[in-house]
Amino acid sequence: MNKNKTEWEIAQELEPIHWSENVEVISKKEYQDKIKHRANLLLSICNPYFKNSVSKMSILEIGGGATPMVDFIDCKEAVSLDPLANFYLETFPFLKERNVQYDQGKMEELPYTDEKFDFIICRNAIDHVEDINKCLFESKRVLKKDGVFYLAINTFSGLLYLYKAINKDKEHPYTFNIRSFKKTVLNSGFKLSKEIIDSEHHKHFEEMESKTWWKVVLRKLFLKFDSYHFIELILKK
C-alpha cells in the first residue's frame, strides 16, 4: 500500500477483502433473514419517534455495505449509500433484485438536497469515515426537520480502548468509548431522544469474526470485563 494514502483510503482498500471472504455466508437466505430481523427490531425501536408511517417515508441508509437494513423496509423511497456501492452490486448480485436505489458516495458529501429524508440509518459505519464532523453535518443537512437519525457504533472501554487507541485498526480510522462518542455526536447539534446499549446482547460481536481459538478467548474476556459495548442513539435535529 502507498504510504502517502490517508487512513480512510487504506480502510477502503481493506474493506472489500472482508466482504469478499464472506460472500457465501452473506448470500445465504439464513443470513439475509438475520438482517431482515434486525431491520424489524430497528423499526420497533424507532417507531415511537416517527411522525409519519414508514410506508410514507423516504429512508437513507449510510454505510450498510452488502447488508443494508433498508432493503427490508417497506417505504416510499429506499436509498443505500456507500463508498463501495458498485463493488457490492458486482459481488452480491441479489442486491440488484431489490427495490432500493444504491448510490456510491461518501458520508462527508451526501449527494442529496436539504431535508430530503424522514429517516437516516447509520449502523457501525461512522468509525470508518474520513471526517466524522463533516459526516454529522451532512446527515443533519439532509434530514427533515421532524426526521429521525439512528446512529449506532461499537465502543470500547478500559484496557481494550487504550489498546485500540494506540494500535489503530486500519479499517477503523476512529475509535470511541461511550462518553467520547456521545460527546462528538451531541456537539454537532443533534438532540438525543433515546440511548440504548447492547440491545442485541453482543451478537454482532460474533458475526463473521475469526474462529481462531485465542481470538475467541479474547472476545469472551473483553465481554466479561465489560470492555466492549454497542451503543445505539436515536437523534433529532
pLDDT class of 115 with cuts at 50, 70, 90: very high
How far is Cα 132 from Cα 113, in angstroms, rounded to an integer? 20
How far is Cα 187 from Cα 201, in angstroms, rounded to an integer? 28
pLDDT class of 158 with cuts at 50, 70, 90: confident
How far is Cα 17 from Cα 171, in angstroms, rounded to an integer? 11
Contact call for residues 65 and 88 (beta carbons, < 8 A) = yes
Q: Is 133 left (phi over 0), alpha (psi -120 to 50) or beta?
A: alpha
Contact call for residues 64 and 84 (beta carbons, < 8 A) = no
Q: Is the pLDDT of residue 206 over 90?
A: no
pLDDT class of 1 with cuts at 50, 70, 90: very low
| DSSP symbol at 69 | G
Identify the burial level of 113 via C-beta atoms within 10 angstroms of its C-beta, where 0-12 means exposed, 13-18 middle and 19 or more buried.
exposed
pLDDT class of 133 with cuts at 50, 70, 90: very high
- pLDDT tens figures, 33-68: 999 999 999 999 999 999 999 999 999 999 999 999
pLDDT class of 6 with cuts at 50, 70, 90: confident
The x, y and z cell numbers of residue 27, run together, are 448470500
Identify the burial level of 6 via C-beta atoms within 10 angstroms of its C-beta, where 0-12 means exposed, 13-18 middle and 19 or more buried.
exposed
**Would you say the pTM of this structure is higher than 0.85?**
yes
Instruction: Give the pLDDT of residue 203.
Output: 53
- pLDDT tens figures, 163-176: 888 877 777 889 99
